[in-house]
Amino acid sequence: MHLADGVLSTPVIVASYGVSIASMAVAAKGIKDEEIPKISLMAGTFFAVSLISIPVPPTSVHPLLCGLIGIILGKKAPLAFFPALLLQALLFRHGGITSLGANTVMLSLPAYLSYVLYKKMPIKKPAARGGIIGAISVVMTVIILIFLLALTDARFAAGDFSVVKIAMVGHAPLMIVEGIVTAFAVQFIDKNKKDWIEERVLV
């Protein structure tokens, strides 16, 4: 779901960079030394898994882990996504430099919303909450993708084989995969590293 260079219009590029920079500034405020290894680990995890391409005809998708990263990092998620996306663009041309801000926003916003939903969801079992959040995070990411494309050019949504429709169909199986992976990961963290999930919700 990485947007490449040349897809977005200049106003969308500028606005998304502004939002991503602001989100990183907020995330970096008051950061503690002991949080840096956790952020680095999440950045490395995203960098690795999002390079995996899963063919879903007529397109291909890749794991996002927005829900899991959001549950663990909360508002600090942009600090993991931005450097990982930057390295992917520079090293593998996966995504782009002009679209770096948009890609950061597209992943960070669902991640933070996933964190808030996880804390407020009235379900006691962490695995169940994690599974639901993992699936919902994919939906949120696709919605933001559609919004960014629509702001650039409404024709992206036109026709039987529009980019929007292909994205929606292609990411449907990923919802299931992300839900299962997030459920198991959250269950493991809850049993072995409970302090990794911040208790206080900052809205």
Successive 10-residue mean pLDDT values, the chain, 203 residues? 87 97 94 92 95 68 92 95 96 92 96 95 93 96 89 67 66 90 95 76 49
CA-angle at 12, arms to 10 and 17, nearest 5° = 95
Does 76 reside within a domain? Answer: yes
- What pLDDT score does 176 carry? 92
Q: What is the CATH number of the domain that holds 24?
A: 1.10.1760.20
Distances from the Cα of 82 to the Cα of 9, 88, 104, 162, angstroms: 20, 10, 6, 28
Residues 6+ apart with CB under 8 A from 100: 17, 20, 82, 85, 86, 89
Task: Decide if 113 is inside a domain.
Answer: yes
| pLDDT at residue 3, rounded to an integer | 87
Range of the domain at 192: 10-196
Is 1 domain-assigned?
no
5 in any annotated domain: no
With beta carbons less than 8 A apart as the criterion, state whether 178 and 110 touch.
no
- Is 173 among the domain residues? yes
Q: What is the pLDDT of residue 186?
A: 95
pLDDT at 149: 86
Residues 6+ apart with CB under 8 A from 18: 101
Q: What is the pLDDT of residue 144?
A: 92
Residue 132 belongs to some domain of the structure: yes
56, β-bridge pairs: 59
Length reported for the chain = 203
Given a contact cutoff of 8 angstroms between Cβ atoms, the answer to whether 105 and 13 are in contact is: no
Residue 40 near residue 5, CB atoms below 8 Å? no
What pLDDT shows up at residue 161?
46
pTM across the whole model = 0.90
* Number of independent structural domains in the chain: 1
In a domain, 191, yes or no: yes
Contacts of 20 (CB under 8 A, 6+ apart): 78, 82, 100, 101, 102, 104, 105, 108
Q: Is residue 89 part of a domain?
A: yes
pLDDT at 44: 96
